[in-house]
Structure 1
Amino acid sequence: MQIDLIKGHGSGNDFLLIDEITNAYSFSEGERAALATLLCDRNSDLGADGILFIMKSDHADGRMRVFNADGSEASMCGNGLRLVARYACEMQGLTEAIIETMKADLKVSKQQDIYPKVTTYQVEISPVSFLLSDLPLNIDEPNLLNEKIPELSQDLTFSALAVPNPHLISIVDLEQMKSVIQRQISEKVNNPNELFPDGVNVSFVKSLDAGSIYVNTFERGVGFTNACGTAMSASTLVTCLQGLNSVEEVINVYNNGGRVQCVVHENDENYSIDLIGNATYLYQAQVDVDLERDTFSVNSKEEFPEQSTYEKLQADAQGYLQKAGL
């Protein structure tokens, strides 16, 4: 099987894009999962956090399906959606579009560059649910906002929400951020356990200057990642609910892969979040895949010149975090 693909990233969260709109690819569900585990292997010639399948939609400008590196499917991916938004908009000559995802049709649009010459897109993150049954989280409460989970920590407080991916968020101090606590909790809730039977994304959040936060995420199906778009969006919302930031204001969200911006919108206690950040292409490649033998080879690879510009944004973000002690 011969496949053309593009590798790109949002905030260092990298993906392989496979276009099923202009190419006559036809994959079974098993093949999608197998492609993800094979091509995303970091020990291979490609490697990525996941695959974004860009598909036709019967009512939107495109459809996105996301498969993690372990072969599991995610209901949403904010960083990946920015890449899909760019691909779909450029392919159709649009500056804004609607992309169908597993749980919702989401608005996307091209934006002013977040940093000089860094291609930037804004994507909608919704729906937002605080019902623990939507994660699910098995405790005897309907929701969890800034409360303790004794089975996980005697000191930390947590908030849980689905956007629609499940997220467990704790606002921490610098010492807690640098400790092994996040890894211990993340591994516990993403291995067989009674609290989160389907696993959960775990984010530690540190408030920085006014209007700025740092988010570090252990992503379900991936592990610690440079950035997780839905986690940064959910974390921004939690800081607004706790009075650290305000709705309808631009919040700078720093991560290990760089910086994005989030804006929380509230309408009759219903929330949505705008996620604004880079959609950077790394290279395009053609591969030959043999799923029966679980092997592939790279026939060609052509680099894009965009990463060097993004690295300037990344260096600025890292410099800011170093001054903050992170």
Structure 2
Amino acid sequence: MNIQFFKYQGTGNDFILIDNRYELFPKNNTKLIEKLCDRRFGIGADGLILLENDKFSDFRMVYYNSDGNESSMCGNGGRCIVAFAKQLNVIENETTFMAVDGDHYAKISADGIVSLQMKNVEEIKMASDYVFLNTGSPHHITLVDEVKSVPVKEIGSQIRYSDLYGKAGSNVNFVEVITDSLFAVRTYERGVEDETLSCGTGVTAAAIAMNAIGKTTSTEISLLVEGGELKVTFKKEGKKYTEVFLIGPATFVYEGKIQI
């Protein structure tokens, strides 16, 4: 069977997008998804996303990491599926869709900038040398002096597989303070098991963590990632973070067909 796919990227975080409203894709075939995401033997991507019908919203997002396993929320993937839904004429410029962590509101501008509302954050663990919070996916945040010199894959994998997070593990982010409202972030992603050029839930977590520990008083924060720049905005209500938005480009790369 030939399957049509669409390739999108959000600040270098790339995804295979498939219209699965007719439920033809063999979504339980972990090995197939892993092969499609393989950069040598498949299409190549950090993850695969299915757009499916949903009874109570415009569509449902089903996200798989490149290891073939269904995963927690992906922020950049969420922005890319909004652009994909617009390309398919499923939506116009605004949408509410369902993902693994609940419903999300988003809007897309004429120039392809997608503003995606993320889940509220009410619990933040602050240790002496790291911050941990969940922004739809779990994130370990570590401050560093110079993010470019960090061996992200080596240290990230050690923390991801440490006893601190058990079998489920955590994504790991390294953050450098540049100004009060500008930070540089590099991320090791579980499921990809490597550094990615960008992580949407990761920069969201980094922005909130920097505010929580007093490294910024801003509620509109820019974050430099290896693949470009993203923005995170939020409201702070006591220790609770609400109206959290991840903002950045979602770019169509190409489309094609592949035999599965």
Please say whether Structure 1 and Structure 2 have the same fold, judged by a TM-score greater than 0.5: yes
Is the Cα–Cα contact under 8 Å of residues 125 and 274 in structure 1 kept in the other structure?
yes
Q: How far apart are 1:225 and its partner, in Å?
A: 0.4
How has the CA–CA distance of structure 1 residues 96 and 246 changed in structure 2, closer, same or farther, with 3 Å as cutoff? farther
1:144 maps to which residue? Answer: 125
Q: How far apart are 1:195 and its partner, in Å?
A: 1.8
Is the Cα–Cα contact under 8 Å of residues 247 and 265 in structure 1 kept in the other structure?
no
Q: Any gaps of 5 or more consecutive residues in structure 2? A: none
Is the Cα–Cα contact under 8 Å of residues 251 and 263 in structure 1 kept in the other structure?
yes
Q: How far apart are 1:209 and its partner, in Å?
A: 2.6
2:136 maps to which residue? Answer: 164
2: CA distance, partners of 1:45 / 1:26: 16
Choose from 233, 244, 248 the match for 2:204. Answer: 233
Q: How far apart are 1:94 and its partner, in Å?
A: 1.7
1:25 maps to which residue? Answer: 24
How has the CA–CA distance of structure 1 residues 28 and 275 changed in structure 2, closer, same or farther, with 3 Å as cutoff? closer
Q: How far apart are 1:93 and its partner, in Å?
A: 4.3
Q: How far apart are 1:282 and its partner, in Å?
A: 0.7
Amino acid at match of 1:13: N
Answering whether residue 248 of structure 2 is matched by residue 255 of structure 1, we say no
Q: How far apart are 1:245 and its partner, in Å?
A: 2.3
Q: Any gaps of 5 or more consecutive residues in structure 1? A: 114-118, 131-142, 149-156, 290-326
Other structure's SS at 2:64 match? strand
Answering whether residue 168 of structure 2 is matched by residue 187 of structure 1, we say no
Question: Larger helix proportion, structure 1 or 2?
Answer: 1
2: CA distance, partners of 1:220 / 1:206: 21
2: CA distance, partners of 1:144 / 1:127: 15
Is the Cα–Cα contact under 8 Å of residues 89 and 97 in structure 1 kept in the other structure?
no
Which whole-Å deviations, capped at 9, do the CAs of 1:88-134 have from their partners, x for residues lacking one? Answer: 23423421101101121011101364xxxxx111101114252xxxx
2: CA distance, partners of 1:58 / 1:276: 27
1:173 maps to which residue? Answer: 145
How has the CA–CA distance of structure 1 residues 267 and 209 changed in structure 2, closer, same or farther, with 3 Å as cutoff? closer
Q: How far apart are 1:45 and its partner, in Å?
A: 4.6
How has the CA–CA distance of structure 1 residues 105 and 247 changed in structure 2, closer, same or farther, with 3 Å as cutoff? farther
Other structure's SS at 1:87 match? helix
2: CA distance, partners of 1:187 / 1:13: 19
Which whole-Å deviations, capped at 9, do the CAs of 1:22-76 have from their partners, x for residues lacking one? Answer: x4514342x2x22320101111251110101111111011111110111122210
1: CA distance, partners of 2:114 / 2:156: 30
Identity %: 29
Question: Larger strand proportion, structure 1 or 2?
Answer: 2
Q: How far apart are 1:220 and its partner, in Å?
A: 0.6
Q: Which has the larger radius of gyration?
A: 1
How has the CA–CA distance of structure 1 residues 24 and 229 changed in structure 2, closer, same or farther, with 3 Å as cutoff? same
Answering whether residue 18 of structure 2 is matched by residue 48 of structure 1, we say no
Other structure's SS at 1:92 match? coil
Q: How far apart are 1:258 and its partner, in Å?
A: 0.4
